[in-house]
Amino acid sequence: MGEQLSPLEPIFRPGSHGNFVDGVGVTLSEIAPGSIVQLAAWPGEEKKLMAAIGSVTGLKLADGAGAGASSDRYAAFGFAPGKFLVSDASEGLATTFAGKVAAATGTVTDLSHGRTAIRIAGPRSEWVLAKLFAVDFSLPAFSVGSGISTTHHDVFTQIQRSGPDSFDLYVFRSFARSFWKMLCHASDEVGYEVR
Amino acid sequence: MSPRRTPSGGRVNRLRTIRFTFDGTAYTGHQGDTLASALLANGVSLFGRSFKYHRPRGVLTSGVDEPNALVTVLRGEVREPNIPATMVEIHDGLTAVSQNRFPSLAYDVSAVNQLGGKFISAGFYYKTFMGPVIGPLKGTRFWMLCEKIIRRAAGLGRAGHAPDPSRYERMNAFCDVLVVGSGPAGLAAAHEAAQSGAQVILAELDPCFGGSANWSGETIDGEPAATWASDVVGELKTHDNVRLLKRTTVWGYYDGNTLAAVERVSDHKDTPAKGAPRHRHWTIRARKVVLATGAFERPLVFPGNDRPGVMMASAAMRYANQYGVLPGEKIAVLANNDSAYRAMAALAKAGARIIAIADLRQDVSAACRKLANDAGAELLTGHAVISTEGGKKLSGVKLAPFSATSGVSTGNARDIGADCLIVSGGWSPTIHLASQAGARPVWSDDLQAFLPPETGKGWIGAGAFNGNFSTAEAISEGFAAGRNAAGQPALETTALPDIEPAPLDPNPAPVFEIKAKGKAFVDFQHDVTADDVRLAHLEGFVSVEHLKRYTTLGMATDQGKGSNVPGLAIMAEALGKPIPEVGTTRFRPPYAPVSVGALAAERFGDLKPERLTPMHDWHLENGATMYSAGLWFRPMIYGGPGETIEQAYVREAQATRETAGIVDVSTLGKIAVQGPDAAEFLDRVYSNVFSTLPVGKARYGLMLREDGLVFDDGTTWRLGEHDFLMTTTTANAGKVMQHLEYFLDVVWPDLKVHLTSVTDQWAGAAIGGPKAREILASCVTGTKVDNEALPFMGIVHGEISGAPVMICRLSFSGEMAFEVYSGAGHGTHVWEALIEAGRPFDMVSYGLEALGTMRIEKGHVTGAEIDGRTSARDLHLGWMLSKKKPFIGSAMMDREGLSASGRLELVGLISLDNRPLSGGAHIVEEVDAANPHGSLGHITAACFSPALGKYIALALVSGGKARYGKRAHISDPLRNRFGPVEIVSHHFFDPEGKRMHG
Amino acid sequence: MLITCPYCGPRDVSEFAYQGDGNRTRPDPASTDSEAWNAYVYDRLNPAGIHNEIWQHAGGCRVHLAVVRDTLTHEISSVRFAREHGTPTHSRRNHGAKA
Ligand SMILES: [Zn+2]
């Protein structure tokens, strides 16, 4: 069975909102990838796991904390030592990885239903996100492709910079509606478009 | 034109008129005015009444240090009290009122407090509210009445009750260099740091950048200083790496160079821009901080120094030079240093008449004499003001010869008429932030002030903050500090601008007080006088920290910006010690008051984070009354029309036991435990064994804490050889996760186990009751659900309405029951399919109340019984404590105290008077309503049991099993509920479990 | 206060959860030495000065960290992964916090 019901459904209002008279500062959208998978390597096995990610997604991850990359279909980034979040526009990624990651290398955990992916893009993205997270979003500190784990109040969030002014946010599904409300509220000031 | 507005000069826009009201009277001012400058321009001198004595007060300063002119700003129903009029920018529609007066500012009945003399002196509150310890009023309520009246009479503004509809926001920022203050020093520092490419934030608490450049009247490189400042700001604006924050008060300096600031985004506007907050709270993490916070001019302590019309010299200069307002027409001067002469000259230039200058010093420099002469003022050296005349407005001052060594007047007094007295008692560098950061101030005998140490770990000072008061020094130190903060090497020579006029001597005479008859105020806002400080000393207070608390000196909303040093000096004199030996108090955040809204920001009301299950909207659409459990929202009941809560849950529980019921269990904590050592890990963390659990089966598990008490329980499902799905209670999900992660990371890092919260991955529906299996069978495809395919604690995989599901046969209700898990995004779809399948069987959806009722009937424990004090044996779960292996808590669980007799044990209670029982009620052998005592334990959970047709409860009772069949009583004096109960086993219903085994 | 997580970099203290005295060593699981268990479960050092602490980056990578912190100044002199460095960097006194 495909199509998941979005937790944002009843409050998702496409169109322009807030103070948009001088143009919208950010665009908010739900990415709704088909798959979100967490991969975790045993200590010392990180390279093998990264190779598996490369072989499935074609994404080459650099060494180092938070390194990541994305393509039209896939996105991947490190969010904790030896741990990576990988998303795929299509379903079934967890099954694919289950066949590619040996028990001796690490584990595969399907989070396709457990996380909601939201994209914020536009010239004021850094400004809006800085309201919610105590993290430096400037480009020198947070490069394109890389990822982090952080928290807004109780809402644990994994963030990948998907472009110079675009960020993909992965939040727990149960918090997604609440988080979306906060994000819209924070975006009011700069004007935002939902699509 | 307003009476006191100069025809030209200043930085207000005379072409733009702004209308506002103060105490109901309409006034006009100009763009660029503060409420203080606009009211002064209108000839208003009376701004408020004082804290204790209700003395009339005017404006003393022109900035954030203002102690007197506090007002309440009204926005519709919302009142914001205690705002210095000097910090309120006027805007059309501004409505402000004065404070602490009744019935009106001009006629205040409590002003008689003044006549009481020593009535409200130091330590007044401590002494008074103890009440009389002897005499006829001892122990009566008389003092409580007095306290009410006194507390009402003394005080500042009144807070409102209306909810504040304003928007507040928080913001995080990171920078290489944060420059606090945008006077010449701060601007120079920001400029240099920006040039080097560093990320710079410049924060200025005023509405315009430039600080003293806006009112000093100096020229820099031949241009007015204000022009120089706006040129620098203009250049800073062209840098991408610079963020300019005006109206932003940096109020806290915390560890790790984290600074807190509040930006007043919309206070100066009639209506905020759409979506813009009123206040924005900034948390700034700076690699280096440049403190260019300037200095405050100190008042002198002399009788009548609080009369409206007495004003700090620098403030008077600022009103004239920045706002084009004369604070008076006939001005007298009282000073112990040169800086007042500059102010006097500015006032003379702006058109005021300078009557006389009383300089406390015998010797005055030629430069000052020339300024006095140019202004046409009579210069009286070695003179002091010993009192002020006038009622609500200064009409004159008494001058007398004065000895700086004795502090008293030495000759005959002379009256002169004046409507304004400008005062300068020297300058105190604004070292608050450095002090917050841990810097110990250093006393300077020359400047008679506390200076910051040279530099701090994370900050560099510049300008008047360092005690270097001239503009030339400010700019040169600012340049150096900016380069240093940006990590640039110092330059050997720097081309510095030319500044006119040359600086005067910054050192004051060491005089803080003029001793003469009458109330001489040290702390204006808290009405603390010099005599109060001496009284505190006489009563034995020697520590400056005690003095501060006892007299409340420096504890008002201005935090003693002007009063700290004079207070200390008077204390030092009383103690016969030099000032540095008395020491100073450490400054604490906030530097200036911060709105609570800015601190709370968005975390209230609709924007509070909440967790919703995948079926949340279905519950709402189907009549559920929701209940918040931590951050989660869960259905409490699905009440029908006119149904009470009890009727609803009784109906739901009854229907479940008769046919079937379904409940949303998605909130249960779910943790994926994966890896080759997962089974070994579970053996260590659970009290029972999991390594023997076959794939495709689940087991109930119990966790203890290290101290041997029960921690949490839940079922864990073995989905694969290395793959377990652990469930926890809803409330403990986070705690269990953290507990497990701790052991993996810190205690057993050698175990190959990964833990992942998958709570949100799965939607869970528990379906139970005699018809549950039939209902399931009618909608599940891809697997059988009969006893053979799905035995008790078995797990199968299948589909419901096209969505993959995982079904485990386990029971919390005691019925034949199944937990159906599906991907959260399919949760509502699967739930609706189950509801549809249950329709022919009259299946009900039930909420937490019915869930709780059925678990009480079964005697299952939850958080109410697992309260952090109960052992497994207390809960009759001793059978779950494996003897074959050590586990967390096994070493401590058999301690003497945990196996002693007489511990509280889990029992059941049946109400014998057919009335409800309630949680928290105590159990006693005999009721003694008048003197409740002899508790045997307490009720943890209670309900009406439809299965038994009785009110029942679970309880923790001393003796436990031994009391089965015995009568006892509940004793609940708070709710006045007493009555007989029978103590029984906690297994009320179907103790053999026949129903769930089918 | 900022704690520099070896993985995530400097983060605000609000992202971290204090997980107790880092000087404790858990007795052998099979040990029946009640004194040792008592010391492990209940005794905590509470020094005025340098202290070994365990913090979890709960609002970030969720890793436990061995932090050496001065309790008087909040200055942090070392942050390392707890799993790689079971033993504290700062020498401990014998037997708990009785001293
Ligand atoms: Zn981290």
- What residues of A are in contact with residue B675 (Cβ under 8 Å)? 42, 103, 107
Residue spans of the domains in chain B: they are 1-160, 166-297+428-510, 299-425, 511-595, 616-667+761-853, 669-760, 902-998
Residue of C nearest to A156 (CA): C59
Question: In CATH, which superfamily holds the domain spanning B669-760?
Answer: Aminomethyltransferase beta-barrel domains (3.30.70.1400)
Whole-number pLDDT of residue B883: 95
List Cβ neighbours of B665 (8 Å cut-off, separation of 6 or more).
Answer: B764, B765, B766, B819
Mutate to test the interface with C, among A109, A135, A149 (most CBs of C within 10 A): A149
Do residues A22 and A55 both lie within one domain? no
Distance set, CA A84 to CA B84, B86, B96, B300, C40 (Å): 53, 55, 57, 66, 35
Do residues A78 and A60 both lie within one domain? yes
Residue of C nearest to B172 (CA): C12
Residue B837 has pLDDT above 60, yes or no: yes
pLDDT in tens, B335-389: 999 999 999 999 999 999 999 999 999 999 999 999 999 999 999 999 999 999 9
Please state the separation of Cα A195 from the chain's center in Å: 17
Fold of B616-667+761-853: Gyrase A; domain 2 (3.30.1360)
Q: Tell me if chain A has a CB within 8 Å of the CB of B197.
A: no
Distance C15 CA to ligand 1 centre (A): 9
* Cα radius of gyration (chain A): 17
- What residues of B are in contact with residue C42 (Cβ under 8 Å)? 707
Domains B166-297+428-510 and B299-425 share a fold: yes
The residue among B611, B609, B612 whose CA lies nearest residue B601 is B609
Whole-number pLDDT of residue B841: 96
Mutate to test the interface with A, among C7, C13, C84 (most CBs of A within 10 A): C7
**Structural domain includes residue A6:** no
Do residues A143 and A186 both lie within one domain? yes
Fold of C2-81: Folate-binding fold (3.30.2270)
Give mean pLDDT, residues A17-43: 96
* Cα radius of gyration (chain C): 14
Give mean pLDDT, residues B528-543: 91
The residue among A124, A117, A101, A118 whose CA lies nearest residue A48 is A101
CB contact under 8 A, A114 and B758: yes
Do residues A137 and A150 both lie within one domain? yes
CA distance B554 to chain C (A): 26
Q: How confident is the model at residue B282 (pLDDT cuts 50, 70, 90)?
A: very high
Residue spans of beta strands (DSSP E) within A32-104: 35-41, 68-70, 74-80, 83-88
Give mean pLDDT, residues A129-155: 95
Give mean pLDDT, residues B452-464: 93
Residue of B nearest to C57 (CA): B738
Whole-number pLDDT of residue C94: 42
Q: Which residue has the tokens 């360092």?
A: B466
Q: Tell me if chain A has a CB within 8 Å of the CB of B674.
A: yes
- What residues of B are in contact with residue A109 (Cβ under 8 Å)? 672, 674, 754, 756, 758
Range name among B75-79, B877-881, B985-989 with the lowest pLDDT average: B75-79
Q: Tell me if chain B has a CB within 8 Å of the CB of C32.
A: yes
Whole-number pLDDT of residue C96: 39
What's the one-letter identity of residue B916?
P
Range name among B395-404, B494-503, B706-715, B955-964 with the lowest pLDDT average: B494-503
Give mean pLDDT, residues A79-106: 97
Average pLDDT, chain B: 93
CA distance B416 to chain A (A): 57
Whole-number pLDDT of residue B972: 94
Q: Tell me if chain C has a CB within 8 Å of the CB of B440.
A: no
Residue A143: CATH number of its domain: 3.30.1360.120
Whole-number pLDDT of residue B115: 55
DSSP H helices in B129-249? 142-153, 184-195, 225-237
The number of distinct structural domains making up chain A is 2
Give mean pLDDT, residues B749-754: 97
CB contact under 8 A, A80 and C63: yes
Nearest to C59 among A65, A66, A156 (CB): A156
Nearest to B741 among C26, C32, C64 (CB): C64
pLDDT in tens, B543-568: 888 888 888 898 888 888 999 999 99
Residue B118 has pLDDT above 80, yes or no: no
Does the domain spanning B299-425 belong to CATH 3.50.50.60? yes
pLDDT in tens, B849-882: 999 999 999 999 999 999 999 999 999 999 999 9
- What residues of C are in contact with residue A148 (Cβ under 8 Å)? 8, 60
Pick the CATH number of B902-998 from 3.40.50.80, 2.40.50.140, 2.40.30.110, 1.10.357.10: 2.40.30.110
Nearest to A134 among C11, C62, C63 (CB): C11
Q: Tell me if chain C has a CB within 8 Å of the CB of B283.
A: yes
pLDDT in tens, B603-652: 777 788 999 999 999 999 999 999 999 999 999 999 999 999 999 999 99
Last residue in a domain, options A82, A110, A138:
A110
Pick the CATH number of B166-297+428-510 from 3.40.50.150, 3.50.50.60, 3.20.20.70, 1.25.40.10: 3.50.50.60
**Structural domain includes residue A45:** yes
- Tell me how many residue pairs between chain A and chain C have CB atoms under 8 A apart: 40
Q: Tell me if chain C has a CB within 8 Å of the CB of B886.
A: yes
Distance A46 CA to ligand 1 centre (A): 17
Rounded to whole angstroms, the Cα distance separating B988 from B984 reads 8
CA distance B486 to chain A (A): 17
Do residues A102 and A144 both lie within one domain? no
Whole-number pLDDT of residue B130: 55
Residue B901 has pLDDT above 80, yes or no: yes
Name beta bridge partners: C9: C5
Element (H, E) at C18: strand C17-21
Distance B599 CA to ligand 1 centre (A): 26
pLDDT in tens, B17-46: 999 999 999 999 999 999 999 999 999 999
Residue of C nearest to B439 (CA): C73
CB contact under 8 A, C12 and B258: yes
Do residues A118 and A172 both lie within one domain? yes
Residues 817-876 of B with CB under 8 A from A: 823-829
Rounded to whole angstroms, the Cα distance separating B714 from B732 reads 10
Nearest to A5 among B274, B612, B828 (CB): B828
Please state the separation of Cα B867 from the chain's center in Å: 31
Q: Tell me if chain A has a CB within 8 Å of the CB of C1.
A: no
Q: Tell me if chain A has a CB within 8 Å of the CB of B626.
A: no
- Tell me how many residue pairs between chain A and chain B have CB atoms under 8 A apart: 141
Last residue in a domain, options A110, A130, A157:
A110
**Structural domain includes residue A158:** yes
Chain A neighbours, 3+ Cβ pairs < 8 A = B, C
Whole-number pLDDT of residue A150: 98
Average pLDDT, chain C: 87
Do residues A17 and A55 both lie within one domain? no
Rounded to whole angstroms, the Cα distance separating B130 from B121 reads 15
Highest-confidence segment of A150-154, B202-206, C21-25: B202-206
Distance B754 CA to ligand 1 centre (A): 16
Do residues A85 and A141 both lie within one domain? no
- What residues of B are in contact with residue C17 (Cβ under 8 Å)? 738
Q: Tell me if chain B has a CB within 8 Å of the CB of A150.
A: no
Give mean pLDDT, residues B399-424: 95
**Domain extent for A66:** 35-110
Distance C57 CA to ligand 1 centre (A): 5
List Cβ neighbours of B215 (8 Å cut-off, separation of 6 or more).
Answer: B317, B318, B320, B321, B322
Nearest to A81 among C9, C58, C63 (CB): C63
| ipTM above 0.90 for this complex | yes
Residue C97 has pLDDT above 50, yes or no: no
Residue of C nearest to B889 (CA): C29
Rounded to whole angstroms, the Cα distance separating B12 from B14 reads 6
Ion ligand 1 nearby residues (CB, 5 A)? C 5, 7-8, 57, 60-61
Contact B506, B337 (CB under 8 A): yes
Give mean pLDDT, residues B58-77: 95
Q: Tell me if chain A has a CB within 8 Å of the CB of B621.
A: no
Nearest to A148 among C8, C12, C62 (CB): C8
- What residues of B are in contact with residue C54 (Cβ under 8 Å)? 742, 746
Whole-number pLDDT of residue C93: 42
Pick the CATH number of B511-595 from 3.30.530, 2.40.128, 1.10.10, 3.30.1490: 1.10.10
Do residues A66 and A26 both lie within one domain? no
Distance B750 CA to ligand 1 centre (A): 20
Residue spans of beta strands (DSSP E) within B12-142: 13-22, 25-31, 48-49, 56-57, 70-75, 78-84, 94-98
Distance B739 CA to ligand 1 centre (A): 17
Residue B128 has pLDDT above 60, yes or no: no
DSSP H helices in A12-162? 46-57, 93-98, 125-132
Distance B117 CA to ligand 1 centre (A): 62
Give mean pLDDT, residues C60-79: 95
CA distance A126 to chain C (A): 17
Fold of B1-160: Ubiquitin-like (UB roll) (3.10.20)
